Structure 1
Amino acid sequence: MTDAIADNLRRVRDRIAGAAIAAGRRPEDITLVAVSKTKPMESVAAALAAGQAVFGENRVQEAAAKFPPLQAKQALSLHLIGGLQTNKARDAVRIADVIESLDRPKLADAIAAAIGREGRTPALLIEVNTGSEAQKSGIARDAADGFIVDCQGRFGNALTGLMCVPPQGEDPRPHFTWLADRAARHGLATVSMGMSADFEIAIACGATWVRVGSAIFGSR
Structure 2
Amino acid sequence: MTSHSHIAANLADVQARIAAQAKAWNRSPDDVHLVAVGKTHSAEAMEAALAAGHRLFGENRVQEAAAKFPALRARYPDLKLHLIGPLQTNKIRQAIETCDAIQTVDRDKLAQGIAAELAKSGRHIDLFIQVNSGEEEQKAGIHPRDADDFIRRCREEYKLPIVGLMCIPPADEHPAPHFALLGEIAKRHGLTQLSMGMSGDYELAIQMGATHVRVGTAIFGARETKA
Please give the range of the TM-score, normalised by the shorter of the 2 chains. over 0.9
Equivalent residue number for residue 95 of structure 1: 98
> Which of 33, 36, 57 is the equivalent residue of 1:34?
36
Contact 2:115-2:160 within 8 A present in 1 as well: no
Give the structure 2 partner of residue 62 of structure 1.
64
Candidates 209, 213, 218, aligned match of 1:215 = 218
CA–CA separation in structure 2 for the residues paired with 1:14 and 1:181: 28
Deviating more after overlay: 47-56 vs 112-121: 112-121
TM-score by length of 2: 0.94
Q: Which moved more, 1:161-170 or 1:181-190?
A: 181-190
Moved more, 170-179 or 18-27: 18-27
Q: Which range is displaced more, 150-159 or 44-53?
A: 150-159
Structure-1 separation of matches of 2:79 and 2:120: 24
Q: Note closer, same or farther for the CA distance 1:157–1:88 as it changes in structure 2 (3 Å cut).
A: closer
CA displacement at 1:80 relative to structure 2: 0.3
Aligned to 2:54: 52
Letter in 1 for 2:146: A
- In structure 2, what is the equivalent of residue 82 of structure 1? 85
Q: Post-superposition shift, 1:158?
A: 1.6
Distance in 2 (CA, whole Å) between partners of 1:217 and 1:36 is 8
Cross-structure match for 2:108: 105
- State the partner residue of 1:158: 161
Superposed CA RMSD = 1.0
Question: C-alpha distance in 1, partners of 2:181/2:157?
Answer: 24
Partner of 2:15: 13
User: Residues of 2 paired with 1:159 and 1:49: CA distance?
Assistant: 31
Among 184, 191, 195, the residue aligned to 2:187: 184
Equivalent residues of 2:104, 2:141 under 8 A apart:
yes
Once residues 120 and 93 of structure 2 are traced to their aligned partners in structure 1, the CA distance between those partners, rounded to angstroms, is 8
Q: Aligned partners of 2:141, 2:52: CA distance in 1, in Å?
A: 33
Partner Cα distance (2:113, 2:62) in 1: 15
1:196 to 196, 199, 202: 199
How far residue 114 of structure 1 moved from its aligned partner, in angstroms, is 1.2
Match of 2:141 among 113, 138, 143: 138
Between the aligned partners of 1:37 and 1:158, the Cα distance in structure 2 is 26
Partner Cα distance (1:11, 1:205) in 2 = 21
Q: Output one character per residue of 1:55-107: Cα deviation in whole Å (capped at 9) or x when no partner.
A: 00011111001000010111200000000001111111111100000000010
Q: Which amino acid aligns with 1:19?
A: Q
Unpaired segments of 5 or more residues in structure 1? none
> Which is further off, 110-119 or 34-43?
110-119
Task: State whether structure 2 residue 123 is matched by structure 1 residue 115.
Answer: no
Percent identical across equivalent pairs? 55
Paired AA for residue 4 in structure 1: H
Query: Displacement of 1:155 after TM fit?
Result: 5.3
For the structure 1 residues 138 and 157, does the alpha-carbon distance in structure 2 shift closer, same or farther, using more than 3 Å as the test? closer
The alpha-carbon deviation at position 180 of structure 1 amounts to 1.2
Instruction: Please give the secondary structure, in 2, of the residue aligned with 1:170.
Output: coil
